[in-house]
Amino acid sequence: MLKFYQGPVWCARQREMLPLIVRCKSAKALTSMRSGTATLHFSSRAGDALGNPKDLGKAAAKPFRDIPGPKSLPLVGTLYLYLPFIGKYSFGRLHHTGLKKLREFGPIVREELISNVNLLLLFDPRDIETMYATEGRYPMRRSHVALEKYRLDRPEMYNSGGLLPTNGPEWWKLRSPAQKVLSRPQSVLSRLPVVSEVAQDFVDLVAILRDPVTGFIPNFLDLEKRLFLELTMAATLDVRLGCIDKVNPHNISEEAMSLIKASDDSNSTIFSTDNGLHLWKVFNTPTYKKLTNGQDTIYRIAYKYVDAKDNELKSRPEDNPTTVLEYFLLRSGLDKKDIISVFCDTLLAGIDTGSVTLSFALYNLATNPEKQELLAQEARDLLSQSDGKVTKVVLAQARYLKAVVKESSRLYPISIGVGRIAAEETVIRGYNIPKGTVIVTQNQVSCRLPEYFENPNEFLPERWFTKDAINPFLVLPFGHGPRACIGRRMAEQNVYAALIMIAANYKIGWKGGKLDCYSTHTNEPDSPLDFTFTPRD
């Protein structure tokens, strides 16, 4: 893995202190600086004033075109810089690409990816905070645009493009009732017993599939996808698909296999259809056809289970919901088309993000055995008090577990950052940012910089227990604000349950080399997951 930059970035104390003193609102803010020193942040160019001069106002701000960035050519923009062999950037290694741009241009970068389509890259958490502060009532983003076309072309199936691509009041019309269910602690916790059951079944399946001598399990990422499909279906659609079947451990149902493939196919097309020349808008390209086939499968299966539950509820005398799906059907106020849309998005996201998050957490534990032992001790202590089940009390007390997941997400986040469309004209770092500018935060790069974290490349869950302030806009695996991930509670519960069960039952080993990320729509492990699992006594 590329070693992230830790070169000399310090200058005289006077230059360090000046921008911070200007920004401090009280003596309390001044005294929060550790050991009397301040943190130096990159400036956009040599000689620029440090800090974030957003108080300059729009009149004094420099024009957008003056923001430094890679050279754009007519028609092709900067795409030539991403060509294999001759280009210096890579779409497959966005974190490495982002670091190169930070080194070359500073903490704010303008890139004309294709002609007349500008991206603004932000690295400084204070600038990221500014982006969120100006995102407005209906935060906008440009993502899943081909998925939006697919759904809008099928009004008999969908009322809108869904939560992922839709913007404005139409997005809020769907988001508001949906988040009242998915963000409601009681509805999420109501599924914890079955989530715990699935996690226990997975631990038992590992015992069957591991090599009795080496402890190795081949194709472990595929096994994780089976786990998170089972968790997602059980937690949202009230269905056990049998992906974690101890009687028939090597096989899963055709329906489960088709769902995993459909999710993989759909997610693999998002990045390429969001970017580039958008030929899929005119022609039924192979990539767009791959997306439509995957979405057809996801819709068919989601419809099947939503419709079955709807018919079941109509035959029940009481209307007291006890599960997430029942809350949607009985309390959300959404019609069936919109409910199916929400669950299609849940399936699309749940399998991929859950398996990736668990993969990197296990890797960090396997390569840091002393941290693994601390988690194992906590896990065994807590589970011994709950008859081996993951309960509300267990998760509430699992302090080290949560620190492990957060630290792993700092080092290996789900994605490079967050995308937004500027809702209004604003000023960031002394530059005028026009309304409608596409902004992409570079949190993954920033989380490896010594300006923000001591020993930034080390896996140190304990850093989250200290009183040293960490800027809250650095580690944002689920985003922030009104458009943060709607399924965060469910996703975290699934990962916590799986990880605490594994840590309590197995010593996790690693026989591979250094693991890095490969960028698709999300970050994925760039090599096979060579874990070993040794039962604990």
Q: What range defines the domain where residue 319 resides?
A: 154-418+476-535
pLDDT digits (tens, 9 = 90+) for 36-57: 333 333 333 333 434 554 445 6
Number of domains in the chain: 1
Q: Which residues of the chain have pLDDT under 50?
A: 1-50, 53-55
In a domain? residue 183: yes
Residue 475 is given by DSSP the state: -
User: 285 in a domain, yes or no?
Assistant: yes
Q: Is 485 annotated as a binding residue?
A: yes
pLDDT tens digit sequence for 65-109: 999 999 999 988 999 999 999 999 999 999 999 999 999 999 999
Residue 509, pLDDT score: 98
pTM of the model: 0.88
**Structural domain contains residue 429:** no
Answer whether residue 98 is part of any domain.
Answer: no
Are the beta carbons of 527 and 213 closer than 8 angstroms?
Answer: no
Q: What integer pLDDT is reported at residue 37 of this predicted model?
A: 33
pLDDT at 262: 96
Domain-located, residue 91: no
Q: DSSP for 327-360?
A: HHHHHS---HHHHHHHHHHHHHHHHHHHHHHHHH
**353 within a domain of the structure (yes/no):** yes
At residue 42, the pLDDT reads 36
Q: Which two tokens stand for residue 433?
A: 């940012």
Question: What is the side-by-side strand order in the sheet with 108-114?
Answer: 108-114, 117-122, 438-441, 419-421
pLDDT at 57: 67
In a domain, 343, yes or no: yes
Residue 284 lies in a domain: yes
**Residue 422: in which H helix or E strand, if any?**
none
CATH of the domain at 195: 1.10.630.10
Q: Contact 121/300 with Cβ under 8 angstroms?
A: no
Give the pLDDT confidence of 445-457 residue by residue, as tens digits. 999 999 999 999 9
